[in-house]
Amino acid sequence: MAPTQPERLSLTKSFGGWHGRYRHWSGVQNCDMTFAVYLPPAAEHRKVPALWWLSGLTCTDENFMQKAGAHRAAAEAGIALIGPDTSPRGTDLPGEHEAYDFGSGAGFYVNATQSPWSRHYRMYDYVTQELPALVQAHFPLNGREAISGHSMGGHGALVCALRNPARYSSVSAFAPICNPVQCPWGEKAFSGYLGDDREVWKQWDASELIAAHGSELPILVDQGDDDNFLRDGQLRPEALQYACSQAGVDLNLRMQPGYDHSYFFISSFIEDHIAHHAQAL
């Protein structure tokens, strides 16, 4: 069945292009979902490639579009930006809103298998199947895709690219959760969404996926060395670096002195990432 028409919530001109926010009913998530699309000026004349951006814990579609300073570079490169939300909304499951790192705003881009989360929390299928079909049907996109993200969304971007090796032309991440099976955020989320079998968890871990399957895609990762979540052991870029070195995967891990985990960090280097994707797209 063809995707339903998305309802436009707002439309704002930016760097000659248009930033729109939309709402639609998601059959995958069993709730209404909101997403954002930035179309560059070139989209008025031809179909353009798309860069997916997956955001981090507590974020919505609005954080990246408003704070990252990405519109100018995307406009110049002729690339659309697509920003999904980070979880289902309005489902009000028991305990869903009690913590910032599980439930609302914290979908972790997995397909939950445990009740009650499995009825709604299927962010992986949403961002790799349902939403791509919808935007392809309703926006001037040429079918070429790249993917990036931040923190939890960096984890999601890496996992989506590694699980779909022919799908994306390029992948990058800012401060991704590189080894969630070995960090507190990942252990909490995966046990709740996926159950207690750690072998199942490995299917959603970029470092484990690279160790098992490698990757032909070069990977660009920026990580601030003054990131408190790096110090807390949540991000573990060293695990990704080791997996890539063992598997012969081309990883460009750039440790950025003095930068933290914020959108100040992202906006400082987003033009490099868009250039990385533009070259591949």
Q: What is the pTM of this model?
A: 0.96
CA distance 207 to 244: 8
Instruction: Kindly indicate the confidence band of residue 216, based on its pLDDT and cuts at 50, 70 and 90.
Output: very high
Spot the catalytic one: 24, 71, 120, 261. Answer: 261
Query: Percentage of residues in the chain with pLDDT exceeding 70?
Result: 99
Instruction: Kindly indicate the confidence band of residue 236, based on its pLDDT and cuts at 50, 70 and 90.
Output: very high
For residue 2, pLDDT over 60 is answered with no
Instruction: Kindly indicate the confidence band of residue 1, based on its pLDDT and cuts at 50, 70 and 90.
Output: very low
Is residue 197 part of the annotated active site? The answer reads no
DSSP letters of 188-238? HHHHHHH-S-HHHHGGG-HHHHHHHH--SS-EEEEEETT-HHHHTTSS-HH
Is residue 227 part of the annotated active site? The answer reads yes
pLDDT reported for residue 73: 98
Spot the catalytic one: 85, 205, 222, 227. Answer: 227
Residue 151: name the closest of 277, 53, 241 by CA: 53
pLDDT reported for residue 143: 96
Query: Percentage of residues in the chain with pLDDT exceeding 90?
Result: 96
Q: What's the token pair of residue 177?
A: 């959760």
By the 10 Å C-beta count (0-12 exposed, 13-18 middle, 19+ buried), 197 is classed as exposed
Is residue 151 part of the annotated active site? The answer reads yes
Q: Tens digits of per-residue pLDDT, 11-48?
A: 999 999 999 999 999 999 999 999 999 999 999 999 99
Q: Are 120 and 95 in contact (CB under 8 A)?
A: no
Spot the catalytic one: 55, 87, 104, 151. Answer: 151
Neighbours of 236 (CB within 10 A): 21
For residue 157, pLDDT over 50 is answered with yes
Instruction: Kindly indicate the confidence band of residue 4, based on its pLDDT and cuts at 50, 70 and 90.
Output: confident
pLDDT reported for residue 167: 94
For residue 3, pLDDT over 80 is answered with no
Q: What is the CATH number of domain 7-280?
A: 3.40.50.1820
